[in-house]
Amino acid sequence: MRKQIVAGNWKMNKDYVDSEILVSKLLETHQHSDVDVIIAPPFTNLLAASHTLKSTSIAVAAQNMHFAESGAYTGEISAEMLKSVGVHTVILGHSERRAYFNETDELLAKKVDAALANDMRVIFCFGEELTERKAGKENEVVESQIKNALFHLSETSWSQIVLAYEPVWAIGTGETATPEQAQDMHAFIRKTLENQYSATLADSVSILYGGSVKPANAKEIFSKPDVDGGLIGGAALDAEMFNAIIHSF
Ligand code: PEP
């Protein structure tokens, strides 16, 4: 049975104090459920968040990391550093990293390898641009993003991978993919995994949907058979909204 997951990507929001307030509110209002809950605050708040959430059912993730173990990479953070502050999950391949920081599939493959070599769980993001969807190329684009960054992995490595389909046109725009569009793409992704690996593997990988998920639309999106949860941006910055999304399953 694959896991249901709701992950919050805080992006470059919340300073130290505001982050502590949000983590406390999340803890106060969080009720135990079968859903895996993950939050990804900025680097400056990872240590505090992982301390506060230690021994709770909320996990902490980083929003990015470098592929090297250490060295002359000014401004970067390694897997080892993340683990040293209690962080064992990392988001890789977010469309903002791809668009603003030139992260390519090839670079992401190296980051994925570094994360897995450090026993970290990876939330791997991908998704098509609006022009690509309008041209009917969404399946082609998504397939190549997954193939280029992940198909070199062994079947066993996939137990550490969570996929997050995030159509770029739906991120932070208020425009969500319809539940049917999300389901169609998730089913296509699962078929792609089955063709490359096996039906068992395809059935075991959690595939999250991301792109303007809010309490008002989460229930319908999460009700689709191949949607195993969500990667949430804006609505993850509000404890009430985030909890309402968690409880939309
Ligand atoms: C995201 O950035 O991963 C995201 C899904 O953002 P939003 O929910 O704000 O569209």
Q: How many whole angstroms from 10 Cα to the centroid of ligand 1?
A: 9
Q: Of the listed 30, 66, 88, 94, which one is catalytic?
A: 94
pLDDT at 31: 79
Kindly tell me if the per-residue pLDDT of 70 is higher than 90.
Answer: yes
**What average pLDDT does range 209-224 have in this prediction?**
96
Using CB atoms within 10 Å of the CB of residue 105, give its burial: 0 to 12 exposed, 13 to 18 middle, 19+ buried. Answer: middle
In tens, the pLDDT along 229-244 reads 999 999 999 999 999 9
In tens, the pLDDT along 179-195 reads 999 999 999 999 999 99
Kindly tell me if the per-residue pLDDT of 176 is higher than 90.
Answer: no
pLDDT at 167: 97
Using CB atoms within 10 Å of the CB of residue 95, give its burial: 0 to 12 exposed, 13 to 18 middle, 19+ buried. Answer: buried
How many CA atoms within 13 Å lie on the side-chain side of 199? 0
Q: Whose CA is nearest to atom 8 of ligand 1?
A: 233
In tens, the pLDDT along 122-160 reads 999 999 999 999 999 999 999 999 999 999 999 999 999
* 138: annotated active-site residue: no
In tens, the pLDDT along 79-96 reads 999 999 999 999 999 999
Which residue from 217, 231, 242, 248 has its CB within 8 A of the most atoms of ligand 1, so it is best to mutate?
A: 231
CA 234 to ligand 1: nearest atom: 9
* CA trace torsion 24, 121, 149, 221 (10° rounding): -50
Ligand 1 site, residue 175, Cβ cutoff 6 A: no
* 166: annotated active-site residue: yes
pLDDT at 155: 97
Contacts of 92 (CB under 8 A, 6+ apart): 64, 65, 108, 111, 112, 115, 122, 123, 124, 125
Kindly tell me if the per-residue pLDDT of 174 is higher than 90.
Answer: no
Residue 249: which pLDDT band, with cuts at 50, 70 and 90? confident
Ligand 1 site, residue 172, Cβ cutoff 6 A: yes
In tens, the pLDDT along 30-53 reads 877 889 999 999 999 999 999 999
Contacts of 224 (CB under 8 A, 6+ apart): 179, 180, 182, 183, 186
Alpha-carbon gap, residue 155 to 85, rounded angstroms: 29
